[in-house]
Every structure is written in C-alpha cells, then in structure tokens.
Structure 1
Amino acid sequence: MARMLRAAADPRISGRTGAPTWLVVALACSGQFLVVLDVSVVNVALPSMRADLGLSGPGLQWVVNAYAIAFAGFMLLGGRAGDLYGRKRMFLVGLALFTLASLGGGLAREGWELLAARAVQGLGAAVLAPSTLTILTAAVREGAARARAIATWTAVGAGGGAAGGLVGGLLVDGLSWRWVLLINVPVGAVVLLGALRWLPESRAGDGRRLDLPGAVLVTAGLGALAYGISLTEAEGWTASVTLVPLVAGLLLIGLFLLVEARTAAPLMPLGLLRLRPVASANVAMFLSGSAMFCMWFFMTLYAQNVLGYTPLEAGLALVPSSLAVVAGSKLAPRLMRAAGARNVAVLGTAVAAAGFGWQSTISAEGDYLTAIMLPGIMMMLGAGLAMTPLAALATSGAEPGEAGLVSGLINTSRTMGGSLGLAVMSTIAAARTEASATPGTDAGGPAALVEGYALAFRASAGVLVVGAVVMAVWLPRRVRVR
C-alpha cells in the first residue's frame, strides 16, 4: 500500500489530461466495482446456468473457481506489470480482456465455453484490479482528499460484493442468467472509453522483469489441486484419475517455490514469510478464506434448490449478510484500537464460526429469519471483523517499500484459500448428498441436498475454529507501526 501511495509523488507520471479529479476517481472505482461484483454476481445464476448448459455439480463450482483461481494467481503479476508498463495501460488491457471474456461467457453454448470465459475474466481482473488504486492515489494529492478517495474506493469494493446477489437476481429473473455476464459489456465499454480519454499514465518501473513463470506455475498448481479434489467425490482419493492432478498440482506448487527462491525478481519473495506477522496473517487469511468464500455459494443453492426461492428472492435474502460484512469492516478499526488486532481477528473468526454452526442446522422447511438471515449476518459480520485486522497485521510486518506487495499477498491468500476451500466443501457436500439419498429417490431432492449443505457448513465451522486457535497462538498482539 505504501508503494502505491508514494506513486502520487513519482516523477514518472505523465499524460495529464486536465480531467477533473472526481472523474479519474470515478473511473478507477468503476473498474474496481466490476472486478468485485463478478466474484459474487454469478452465485444466484448458478442453478439457471446448470439447467441451461447441463453443468455437473463439480462443473458448477468451477463457474466460481475458474474466475477466482485466475484472479488470485495473476494478481501480483498484474500489479508488477502496472509498475513496469504503466498503470493506465494495464487498466485498459485488463478491462478490455475482462469485457471481451464477459461477452464470450454470456454467449456460451457449452459448459466448457463458459468456464473458459470465466478463467479469462479472472485474468483480466487480475491485470485491472491492482491499477485501480494506484491510478487513484496518483491523481489525488496526499492528505484529506486522498483519504476520502481511498475510502470511496474501499466502499465501492465492499458495495460491489454486497450488490452482487441483488444485481444477479434482478438480471436472472428479468432477463436470463446470460445477462449477469453480458451486462459487463456496455458498462465495460463506457468505462474503457472514459479511461482512454481521461486517465493519466504513471509508472514506477525499476527495470526488473516480470515473473511470468511464477504466476503460471502457481495458477496451474492451484487449478490442478482444485480439479483433483473435485474428482474425489466420484472417483475416490486413490483412483489414478484423481491422483494424477493432485500430484501434478503439488509438484507445480513445489516448482513455483523453487522458482521464487532462485529468481532475481520473484512474484512472492519467500523471505517475507520469515516475518512472523506476514506468515501468521497469511496462513490465518488462507484458512478463513477457505471457509468464508463458500458461504455465498451454498446459501444461494440452499435458497433456490431447497426453499424454492427465485433468483431475485435469493439475491434479496442475502442483502442483510452483504451489509453485515460492510458493517464488520467498518467496526473493526475501532475495536482494534481498544482490544488489539489479534483479539479482534479471533473474535471475528469465532463469531463467524458460530454463524456457520447455526447455519448447519438448516432443514428442508427452514424459515427465512432463522435459516438464512440471522446466521448469514453472524457469518458475514464475523468475516468483516476478522479480515481487517488480518490485513493490517500482515502489512505491519513488512518494510514500507514492501507494503504494496504484502497487501497483494494477503488478498491472494484469501482468494486462493477460497478457491481450494470451495473445491473441498463442494466435494464434501456432494458425497453426503449422494449417501443420504434413499434407494429409489432423487439424489437431488431437498432432504438429501440439505444433508450435504449442512455438512459443508459444519466443516467450514471446524476450519474456522482451527483458524481462531492459530490466530490466538501465532498472530502478534497488535499492529506494529514502522
């Protein structure tokens, strides 16, 4: 973050267009909104996508995971590319790629076409997202104005996640599932034209090359692991068709670590992981993300497949949960001043674990208040309380010149944890659903589905309990100010 903030004083800022500052801020925030929105907007469309394209259960999880894995795997590379080649240029490249992939996904006629488009969307988002904050800070002078601009950027990101379910529900109910992707095309085109005309260019390159091999290896490794995990429900853990991608994923991750240890300009400097705040916060974020990322996926499926909600009703049902994560994020800094960052992270994780435990008591006849609204608020309030202190602790352990890299690393840990967590929890849920179906009944019936979803929520609660213990034992007590 510090590296990004110093960009405002960087002499290598060019292309001043005379555009009003508010317009530059609006364009940067629009890019951030699109990126965050697409993480959550597809959730309410999943049942419709499955029915239209004939996706399997594992295929359905890849609608989410293809985006998340590409986004996480290439995010650090995208930030480095902006430093070297220009933030405006990477903003334009990422947004163009994101918009074209949205068009391809919206027009998909086969499941594999949709999954490929989602992966390319994630790559575009990884190139686009790091530039949004840097462009904003380069355009606004340091002081109160920049603080307000960054607060706006943060609120827009939170709002994108919160609005995803509602926007997706409106589009699916009013038009079709395809419009959760196609809507990005006109919006992306307008932002692209505005950015081309009004955004200033800036860069802070030091001549180092991009670590493209590292980005490819870590993304391929995570994808192979997630794919192997998704096969275990149907094939078992010992089948060759399962073992091959699992072993390949582990080998690719190992090769990634070897490349990072030897390259002069690593994507993820391993030396940072020797710092206790950085290592402990990233492990904690990985565990938290692996559980909390699944919430939207299973809550949406439960609301539509079991309770019979329409996509719009499902989106509206999750609005309180979306607002709760924003409220938790806003409350966390105040609690951190009084109780310390570690205690707030543990508290938030414990609240989230209690919410997941409550959610695991769902039934096929659940009512909205106790089956969705209240446990959903607890889960996401806890998520908001936990994520802010974890991010603050991670960045406090680095030198000022490395704060931007560490900030990207903590976001990558959260998204990677979520991707692998979704693969594991989906497999757990599918196996329990199949085992719960009585002979001669539909394995996709409400009672069997509830058994699977409930087990996924219980498993997530267990992961969060482990995460809370790790935080209590390993995290530093407070944020260190350098």
Structure 2
Amino acid sequence: MSHVPTLVKDVATPPSRPEQAPRQRPDEASRHRWWVLGIIGIAQLMVVLDGTIVNIALPSAQQDLGFSDGNRQWVITAYALAFGSLLLLGGRIADLFGRKATFLVGLVGFAGASALGGAATSFAMLVTARAGQGVFGALLAPAALALLTTTFTDPRERAKAFTVYGAIAGAGGAIGLLLGGILTEYLNWRWTLYVNLLFAVIAFAGGKALLRRTARDKSATLDIPGTILVSAGLFCLVYGFANAETYDWDSPATWGLLTVGAVLLAAFTRWQTKAAHPLLPLRVLLDRNRGASYLSVLISGAGLFGVFLFLTYYMQQSLDYTPVKTGLAFLPMVAGLMITNALATTVLVPRIGPKPVVPLGMGLTAAGMAWMTTLDLTSGYASHLMPPLIIVGLGLGLVMAPAMSLAISGVAAEDAGVASATVNTMQQVGGSIGTALLTTLSAGAATDFLAGKNPQDPVIAAQAALESYSTAYWWSAGFFLAGLVISALLYRRGVPAQDENAAPVVHM
C-alpha cells in the first residue's frame, strides 16, 4: 500500500519590510497554475502507483522469469530501498540544480527504468530496473512537492492544491492495486511497468511547456559523505536480513552485513553532528512527538509492505483469485484506512492528542494481522478475509495520518523540506527491512514444515505456503505490538501545541 505523503512546504521567507515589493498575486505569478497542478498530480500518481501496481503482477512475473520465492522480495525492496535512501539527497539536488530541471530529469529517468523493467528478460534485469525507478523517483517526488509550493503562493489556493495532491497520493495505492490487476489479467504483467511511459510523456510535455525555471540555491551543498554512509548502511541492513534465508543467521554473510550496516548508520549519525550542511539535521529528530512519529511510520512500513506481498500470493496461489479480484479484495482495507484517516486528523488528535490514538491504531492493526493467521485453503472472502482486512485498514488510518502530520509539525521553515523527506524515507526504509525480514522468516517456516515430507505433493506444498504466510502475519503483528508500546511511551500527553513560527502544515 502506498503511503500518503507528508504535505509540508513553505520555505520561502515572507517580506519583512513594508517597502519591499508585495508578493505577486497568484494569477500574475502563474497563469497556468491549475494546469501545473494537473502535471504534478500525474507525475505523483505515477510514483505512488509503483508502490502497489507491481505487487499484483508479481506472481505472474515470477512464473514468467522463473525466480525463486526468496528472490521475489527484491522486486519490491529494490524500489523502496533506492527511493527511501535517496529522498533526502533528491531534495538537495532540486535546490542545487533547479526544481524544473530535476523534475524533468526524474520523469525521463523513471520512464526509462520502467521501459527496461517491462522488457526484462531476467530477474536481475527486472530488479535493476526497479532500483532505477526508485533512484529517479527520489529526484521526482521532492521536486514535484517543491514546485507545487512555489506555484501556489496564495494560502487558500495552496490549501486547495494540496488537498487535490493529497487525494491523488492517497488514492494512488488503491488505483495501483486495481490497475495492476486489470493490466496483468487482460494484457501482461509487463504493462504494469510500461504504463508509466504514458504518464511520463504527458507530464514531461506539460512540464516542459508550463513549469517556470526556478533559481538555483547557490548556498545549497550536497552532503556526499552523509549520503554514502546512510545509503550504504541501509543497503547492508536490508541485504543482511535477506541473506539470512540463504546463509542462516550465524553466517558472516548475514550478521557481518548487519553489523556493518549498524556501524555505517552510527557513523552517519556522528557525521550529521559535524557536517556544515548535514543531510538530516539531528534537531529534526529530537522532539519527542516527532521522534515517536518517525518510529511509528518506520514500524508501520515494516509491518505493512511485507504483508501486502504475502496476501497477494495467498489470494492468487492459495485461493486462485484472478489479479483483478485480488485488487478488488484490498479495497475494504483502503476504505477503512480513509475513514479513520479523516477521523484521526480532524476530530481525535485535535481534541485528545496522539497518545491514545496512535497506540490504539497499532493495537487494532496487530489484532487484524493476528486474525489473518487463521486463514486457510477454504477461507471465504466475506466471512474470513474481509473482516481482518477492514480491521487492519481502520488501525492503519489511526496510525499513519497522525504520525505523518506530527512528524513535520512544529519544524522551523528551513527544516520543512528535510522533515517531509524524512517521514517518507522512514516508511520506505521500514518497508524494505520488513519485506526482507518477513520473507526470510516465512521461507524458514516453510522449510521447517517440509522437513521429512514430500514437497512435490500439492497438498503438502499448499500447506507449507500457508505456514509461511502465517509466520509473516504473526511477525507483522509483533511489529505493531512493539509500535503500540513505543508510541504509548514516547508521545506526549494532550493536544500538541501549535508554533506560529513553524512551517505550516496542510492537512488532507
């Protein structure tokens, strides 16, 4: 399920003296601003779709290219890891080289990587293409958000624009599930990647014609050491978890990489305290509510991304659902998420604060995941599968909306961009680690179940698959229980105070 991005941006400093020229009215600043919103919306939809559209197509891609169950995680993880680990850098590049140029380069690169993935003749080629999508998506997403902010300078119009942008991002996950099913079932799994070419061509043509060139920020400096440290550290962590399936936990290929990853991330944290232009200023992380929110988003990503993968395989391989039926089956969960998303941001958190709300959401999601462990080969949709999906959706809405809002609430204007990028990074990195870890644990459960049995027996093979899925659901429930404890301990009591000098937050 794709995330609903954090919507923060107002980094421009308002005129401080009356004699300075007044700000242009929106119609003077950008006569085509609503067309620009459409262009940015198309680009954002393309990026968000790729968080879910390939999930539905993955069983077909695996059968076509012949890769193993252990390797299938990398089709998801390669995108999420590249996207998440480079988002902070992407925002800095947009400042340094100009937002329009970065936006257009991101579109071209994303389209090229999508074409490569659609034409993939091997597993390695597909994973390389997915990583390329993540790299260029990390350029595209921050530039799009920044362009939206600079295009809409009137506060009321900006609020409307961000509402539309947020609706596109929020619906993108559901659209991806349905579109992925339709394209896979009626065309081919490759079209879940080729479809990005259509989005990219439209957005590029419109962006080239209508977007204004923005001045380069000559004071912006790339934190190259910080980027190398955090990217390498995250890669080692994810790869270490993934290696546990092949080499076991006591192998240097597993614990060695995990150790190196931890050391590199510690070095990154140390470097951020000394760097003149840090990639992630640590002051952004140190507020209690903000820190609790980042951890909540990280845990939710870890629990959710992997479960989407396993539920997709369960529906298509254990229950013989078609790709379209699989996409439709997820919609009640999306509906539940949207209901509690709106309830949490407009009613609950403004009245009682996040401390009761987020832990409640974590607990509901954990209960839904635990309920899924009862699914078997004879489970019906309405009686067995839909109820826990709805519970998970209701719980996630109580977690994600408040956490993403509070993760950037109260930051100084100059930190608004990095705070926004960080919350998206947390979700993508959590998804990468969770997918790798859950895949390893589920594969180990299937192997243990098959010990001494005939794996060629269809009934035994089907039961082994159920055992692997159940293990993933239990561990995911454990993640959310840990999130319940952490969020209950860290969030402050009461309604968060509003800082008039902080960067404004536009709620969806």
Paired with 1:288 and 1:235, the residues of 2 have a C-alpha distance of 27
The 5-angstrom pairing of residues 147-186 of structure 1 reads 147-186=159-198
Paired with 1:403 and 1:432, the residues of 2 have a C-alpha distance of 43
2:252 to 228, 240, 244: 240
Tell me how far 1:109 sits from its aligned partner. 0.5
Aligned partner of 1:339 in structure 2 is 352
What code does the residue aligned with 2:455 have?
T
TM-score normalized by the length of structure 1? 0.94
Aligned partner of 2:398 in structure 1 is 385
- Return the structure number with greater helix share: 1
1:440 to 444, 454, 475: 454
Tell me how far 1:98 sits from its aligned partner. 0.6
Aligned partner of 2:506 in structure 1 is none
Paired with 1:142 and 1:339, the residues of 2 have a C-alpha distance of 31
Paired with 1:246 and 1:336, the residues of 2 have a C-alpha distance of 37
Tell me how far 1:18 sits from its aligned partner. 5.7
What code does the residue aligned with 1:372 have?
L
1:42 to 50, 54, 63: 54
What code does the residue aligned with 1:379 have?
V
Paired with 1:9 and 1:236, the residues of 2 have a C-alpha distance of 57
Tell me how far 1:473 sits from its aligned partner. 1.1
Aligned partner of 1:420 in structure 2 is 433
Change in 2 beyond 3 A, CA 1:8/1:381: farther
Paired with 2:408 and 2:8, the residues of 1 have a C-alpha distance of 12
Give SS of 1:384's match: helix
Tell me how far 1:180 sits from its aligned partner. 0.4
What code does the residue aligned with 1:440 have?
N
| 1:2–1:404 CA contact under 8 A, matched in 2 | no
Tell me how far 1:417 sits from its aligned partner. 1.2
Tell me how far 1:5 sits from its aligned partner. 2.3
| 1:275–1:397 CA contact under 8 A, matched in 2 | no
Residues 314-323 or 46-55, more deviating = 314-323
Give unmatched runs, 5+ long, in structure 2.
1-5, 16-20, 500-508
| 1:17–1:198 CA contact under 8 A, matched in 2 | no
What code does the residue aligned with 1:374 have?
P
The 5-angstrom pairing of residues 203-282 of structure 1 reads 203=215, 205=217, 207-282=219-294
Tell me how far 1:346 sits from its aligned partner. 1.5
| 1:218–1:252 CA contact under 8 A, matched in 2 | yes
Change in 2 beyond 3 A, CA 1:398/1:279: same
Runs of 4+ in structure 1 off by over 3 angstroms are: 6-13, 16-19
Paired with 1:160 and 1:292, the residues of 2 have a C-alpha distance of 16
1:394 to 399, 407, 425: 407
Tell me how far 1:458 sits from its aligned partner. 1.1
TM-score normalized by the length of structure 2? 0.89
| 2:184–2:192 CA contact under 8 A, matched in 1 | yes
Per-residue CA deviations over 1:302-333 (Å, capped at 9, x if unaligned) read 10111111111111111222232222322211
Paired with 1:18 and 1:275, the residues of 2 have a C-alpha distance of 37
Change in 2 beyond 3 A, CA 1:7/1:200: farther
Answering whether residue 472 of structure 2 is matched by residue 452 of structure 1, we say no
Give SS of 1:274's match: coil
Give SS of 1:215's match: helix
| 1:44–1:311 CA contact under 8 A, matched in 2 | yes
| 1:393–1:480 CA contact under 8 A, matched in 2 | no
| 1:304–1:314 CA contact under 8 A, matched in 2 | yes
| 1:105–1:181 CA contact under 8 A, matched in 2 | yes
Tell me how far 1:209 sits from its aligned partner. 0.8
What code does the residue aligned with 2:427 have?
R
Aligned partner of 1:53 in structure 2 is 65
| 2:95–2:220 CA contact under 8 A, matched in 1 | no
Paired with 1:3 and 1:265, the residues of 2 have a C-alpha distance of 21
Tell me how far 1:255 sits from its aligned partner. 3.0
1:362 to 364, 369, 375: 375
Percent identical among aligned pairs is 36
1:4 to 9, 33, 48: 9
Aligned partner of 2:497 in structure 1 is 480
Answering whether residue 481 of structure 2 is matched by residue 465 of structure 1, we say yes
Answering whether residue 424 of structure 2 is matched by residue 411 of structure 1, we say yes
Change in 2 beyond 3 A, CA 1:203/1:460: farther
Per-residue CA deviations over 1:280-319 (Å, capped at 9, x if unaligned) read 2212221222112223111111101111111111111112
Residues 378-387 or 121-130, more deviating = 378-387
Aligned partner of 1:110 in structure 2 is 122
Per-residue CA deviations over 1:97-147 (Å, capped at 9, x if unaligned) read 111000001011110011011001001111100122221122223232211
What code does the residue aligned with 2:156 have?
A
| 1:2–1:401 CA contact under 8 A, matched in 2 | no
Paired with 2:61 and 2:8, the residues of 1 have a C-alpha distance of 41
| 1:225–1:249 CA contact under 8 A, matched in 2 | yes
| 1:7–1:204 CA contact under 8 A, matched in 2 | no
Tell me how far 1:9 sits from its aligned partner. 6.3
Paired with 1:19 and 1:320, the residues of 2 have a C-alpha distance of 40
| 1:82–1:203 CA contact under 8 A, matched in 2 | no
Paired with 1:370 and 1:315, the residues of 2 have a C-alpha distance of 18
What code does the residue aligned with 2:126 have?
L
Give SS of 1:58's match: coil
| RMSD between aligned residues | 2.3
| 1:277–1:396 CA contact under 8 A, matched in 2 | no
